[in-house]
């Protein structure tokens, strides 16, 4: 048996902030008390640090298999550990797409050998794989992912009859990327007429417009209500969409939930002039007004989860002209500290950060014994310094395989000091120990 004692930390958990010690036996939190005096194999003095549950990022693209020139499960999960992210749910648009049970299971086999963090993978739906979708095991697979707008990969589901069959045939959580493909194509043709093949990136939110997002998400929600499906709408990017969601029932009872990504809380369309393709995401970063309305919905609980949509591409790929440059960017190393900086500036409370990044993903996906600092739960923890010396994101200190970050040049005064995963100290004082203790997530359903 291995034991770990964390002393003198300030715990942020379930709407409260309090000082306590944490005693961990093997993988599990066995005791939380104001003072614990037990001899342990290892002791951490967390004086001056805040202790959060490890972040659960419900939407990442770690690029393995098939796209490993951009990133892989090992490289990106290592960056996640540095950012206090202890569990991820990865998307199916790898190569080959994870649209059969065999391909999906191969991804799990890779992660079992190489992941630094806990892991799960989405099963991908297409216009013609309903039979495979229905074989998905709800106990050990996070959910079903549908692209209702084109993105990286070729997984667009645009057959309405197929969509209704998927929605009505499974009780598993269905996560959707919502952008209306016809609207996007029409907008793109208009941009080509105006600019030719040299479209400026400032046109990205015009091409992938708020109207395209709203048309698709409202249609998905209408279908979910009709069929009784369990729907989770990824990466809300418009103020208009926030009006589609409720905050008058507990999360556990919601059948329709929503997520926002860090970049839609941080950037606006004004940043395209300086960041260019490096903030080119699908759906697009939109106006400052959209951003503020998304913040309002996040804080009043219409939006339930904060994630990243972490999606690395190489510098060479991102440096191409707008039409050739792929959408997506790396974020897992800096998502928690970005939200903590917002908290320091009074934009959001520490308790709300814990709710949206740790508790709610666990509740929403029914993840077994994670997402909270509780006795009997797995010891996944992020120990953070909210008053660290100022430091700046540079190419030299990012761990993403792609070697860049949209936050380059950004100065932070918060830092993830230590990460604990399944009771093991996997990163301490900024140094990752190199061992892999990630486990496959299980779900209470």
For the segment 200-225, the average pLDDT, to the nearest whole number, is: 97
Strand order across the 118-121 sheet: 55-60, 85-90, 118-121
Task: Compare 52 and 161 and report the one with higher pLDDT.
Answer: 52
Can you give the pTM of this predicted structure?
Answer: 0.97
| 268-282 pLDDT per residue, tens | 999 999 999 999 999
Asked if 308 and 286 count as a contact pair (C-beta separation under 8 A), the reply is no
Nearest C-alpha neighbor of 232 from the set 122, 342, 349: 122
The domain limits of the chain are 3-51+377-390+408-432, 55-365
Nearest C-alpha neighbor of 403 from the set 320, 316, 308: 316
Q: What is the pLDDT of residue 154?
A: 61
Q: Of the ranges 157-161, 181-185, 328-332, 359-363, which one carries the lowest mean pLDDT score?
A: 157-161
Q: Which fold does the domain 3-51+377-390+408-432 belong to in CATH?
A: Urease, subunit C; domain 1 (2.30.40)
Q: Could you tell me the pLDDT band of residue 260, with boundaries at 50, 70 and 90? A: very high
| 283-311 pLDDT per residue, tens | 999 999 999 999 999 999 999 999 999 99
| 321-340 pLDDT per residue, tens | 999 999 999 999 999 999 99
E-strand spans in 284-409?
305-307, 381-385, 391-392
Q: Could you tell me the pLDDT band of residue 158, with boundaries at 50, 70 and 90? A: confident
Contacts of 160 (CB under 8 A, 6+ apart): none
Per DSSP, what are the bridge partners of residue 50? 10, 384
| CA–CA gap between residue 219 and residue 222 (Å, rounded) | 5
Helices (H), 267-393: 272-275, 288-299, 315-318, 335-344, 350-354, 360-365
Whole-number average pLDDT of the chain: 96
Q: What is the pLDDT of residue 169?
A: 94
**For residue 167, how many C-alpha atoms fall within 13 Å in the half-sphere facing its CB?**
24
Burial class (CB in 10 A: 0-12, 13-18, 19+), 69: middle
| CA–CA gap between residue 59 and residue 263 (Å, rounded) | 13
For the segment 31-59, the average pLDDT, to the nearest whole number, is: 98
In this predicted structure, the answer to whether residue 444 has a pLDDT above a threshold of 70 is yes
Prior bond of 108 cis (ω within 30°): no
| 57-83 pLDDT per residue, tens | 999 999 999 999 999 999 999 999 999
| Rounded percentage of the chain residues whose pLDDT exceeds 70 | 99
Task: Give the Cβ contact number of residue 47 at 10 Å.
Answer: 10
Q: What is the pLDDT of residue 150?
A: 60
CA distances to 128, 189, 195, 216, 317 from 251, rounded to whole Å, are 32, 41, 46, 23, 39
In this predicted structure, the answer to whether residue 152 has a pLDDT above a threshold of 70 is no
| Rounded percentage of the chain residues whose pLDDT exceeds 90 | 95
Nearest C-alpha neighbor of 150 from the set 272, 332, 326, 330: 326
**For residue 116, how many C-alpha atoms fall within 13 Å in the half-sphere facing its CB?**
26
CA distances to 216, 365, 419 from 81, rounded to whole Å, are 34, 21, 7
Task: Give the Cβ contact number of residue 32 at 10 Å.
Answer: 17
Task: Give the Cβ contact number of residue 154 at 10 Å.
Answer: 11
Per DSSP, what are the bridge partners of residue 411? 392
**55-365 under CATH 3.40.50.720, yes or no:** no
| CA–CA gap between residue 77 and residue 81 (Å, rounded) | 6
User: Which tokens is 277 given?
Assistant: 């393709």
**For residue 382, how many C-alpha atoms fall within 13 Å in the half-sphere facing its CB?**
35
| CA–CA gap between residue 103 and residue 101 (Å, rounded) | 6
Q: What is the pLDDT of residue 149?
A: 66
């Amino acid at each position: 048996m291995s034991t770990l004692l964390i002393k003198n930390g300030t715990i942020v958990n379930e709407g409260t902030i309090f000082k306590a010690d944490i005693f961990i036996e093997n993988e599990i939190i066995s005791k939380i008390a104001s003072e614990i005096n037990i001899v342990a194999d290892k002791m951490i003095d967390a004086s001056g640090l805040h202790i959060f549950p490890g972040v659960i990022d419900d939407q990442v693209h770690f690029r393995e298999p098939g796209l490993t020139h951009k990133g892989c499960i090992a490289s990106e999960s290592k960056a996640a550990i540095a950012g206090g992210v202890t569990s991820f749910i990865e998307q199916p648009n790898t190569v080959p797409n994870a649209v059969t049970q065999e391909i999906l299971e191969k991804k799990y086999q890779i992660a079992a050998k190489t992941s630094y963090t806990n892991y799960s993978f989405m099963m991908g739906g297409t216009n013609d794989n309903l039979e495979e979708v229905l074989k998905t095991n709800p106990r050990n697979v996070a959910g079903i992912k549908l692209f209702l707008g084109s993105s990286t990969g070729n997984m667009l589901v645009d057959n309405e009859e197929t969509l209704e069959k998927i929605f009505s045939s499974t009780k598993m959580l269905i996560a959707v990327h919502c952008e209306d493909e016809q609207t996007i194509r029409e907008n793109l043709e208009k941009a080509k007429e105006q600019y030719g093949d040299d479209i400026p990136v400032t046109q990205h939110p015009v091409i992938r417009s708020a109207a395209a997002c709203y048309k698709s998400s409202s249609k998905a929600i209408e279908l979910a209500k009709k069929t009784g499906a369990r729907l989770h709408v990824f990466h809300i990017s418009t103020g208009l969409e926030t009006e589609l969601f409720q905050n008058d029932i507990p999360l556990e009872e919601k059948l329709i939930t929503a997520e926002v990504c860090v970049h839609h809380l941080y950037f606006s369309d004004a940043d395209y002039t300086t960041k260019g393709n490096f903030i080119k995401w699908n759906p697009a970063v939109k106006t400052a007004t959209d951003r503020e309305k998304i913040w309002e919905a996040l804080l009043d609980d219409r939006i339930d989860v904060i994630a990243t949509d972490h999606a690395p591409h190489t510098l060479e790929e991102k440096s191409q002209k707008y039409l050739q440059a792929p959408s997506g960017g790396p974020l897992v190393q800096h998502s928690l500290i970005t939200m903590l900086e917002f908290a320091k500036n009074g934009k959001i409370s520490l308790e709300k950060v814990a709710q949206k990044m740790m508790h709610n993903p666990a509740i929403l996906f029914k993840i077994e014994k994670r997402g909270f600092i509780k006795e009997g739960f797995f010891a996944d923890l992020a120990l953070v310094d909210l008053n660290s010396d100022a430091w700046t994101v540079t190419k030299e200190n990012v761990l993403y395989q792609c070697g860049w970050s949209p936050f380059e040049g950004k100065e932070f005064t918060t830092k993830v000091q230590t990460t604990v995963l399944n009771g093991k100290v996997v990163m301490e004082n900024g140094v990752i120990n190199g061992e892999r203790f990630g486990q496959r997530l299980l779900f209470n359903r």
